[in-house]
């Protein structure tokens, strides 16, 4: 029986490709399912041979730890140089989209509170 090894929903393409490479380099048998035409199926990497589960988990966990460290270092470099993305930078460089998002958040918040108070009255 196949085992779900790595769900691919909302996973960046580069990370999914790296996971495939890690499994291939470690000679781990796997197959992949796509989300389908309507995006309702389970996109994932599945393990074909249950006996390779421990080896696959170890390889993926090692990769993800390395990726986390790499991305954290990149973010720290951006933060030190002052190039990280902040709310004020978004407001300065993309004022229209930032204000539209804030308006949408405010509208949802207002409607949520209004519905609760209207329901209670």
Q: Residue 105: its pLDDT value, please? A: 97
| Structural domain count of the chain | 2
Domain shared by 59 and 102, yes or no: no
- H-helix or E-strand spanning residue 32: strand 30-33
What is the domain extent for residue 54? 1-83
pLDDT, one tens digit per residue, over 36-78 is 889 889 999 999 999 999 999 999 999 999 999 999 999 999 9
- Confidence at residue 81, expressed as pLDDT on a 0 to 100 scale: 92
Residues 5 and 45: beta-carbon distance below 8 Å: yes
Check residue 39 and give its pLDDT.
85
Long-range pairs for 15-18: beta carbons < 8 A, 24 or more residues apart: 15/67, 16/45, 18/63, 18/67
Question: Does 76 share its domain with 89?
Answer: no
Q: Are residues 10 and 45 in the same domain?
A: yes
| Same domain, yes or no: 36 and 89 | no
The overall pTM is greater than 0.85: no
DSSP helix/strand/coil, 86: coil
Instruction: Indicate which CATH number applies to the domain containing 75.
Output: 3.30.70.1530
**Same domain, yes or no, for 4 and 26?**
yes
Higher pLDDT, 2 or 63: 63
Q: Are residues 50 and 78 located together in one domain of the fold?
A: yes
Paired residues of 81 in beta bridges? none
Other beta carbons within 10 Å of 53: 13
Number of neighbouring beta carbons within 10 Å of residue 59 = 17
**Range 82-97 average pLDDT:** 91
Rounded Cα distance, 50 and 82, in Å: 47
The answer on 104 and 62 residing in a single domain is no
Mean pLDDT estimate for the chain: 93
Between CA 50 and CA 57, with CA 55 as vertex, the angle to 5 degrees is 85
**Do 65 and 92 have their domain in common?**
no
């Amino acid at each position: 029986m196949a085992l779900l090894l790595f769900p691919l929903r909302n996973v960046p393409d580069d990370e999914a490709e790296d996971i495939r490479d890690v499994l291939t380099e470690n000679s781990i048998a796997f197959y992949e399912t796509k989300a389908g035409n309507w995006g309702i199926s389970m996109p994932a990497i599945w393990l074909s041979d249950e006996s390779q589960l421990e080896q696959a988990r170890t390889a993926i966990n090692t990769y993800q730890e390395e990726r986390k460290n790499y991305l954290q270092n990149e973010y720290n470099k951006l933060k030190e140089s002052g190039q990280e993305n902040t709310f004020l930078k978004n407001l300065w460089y993309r004022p229209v989209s930032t204000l539209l998002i804030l308006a949408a958040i405010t509208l949802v918040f207002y409607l949520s509170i209004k519905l609760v108070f209207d329901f209670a009255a």
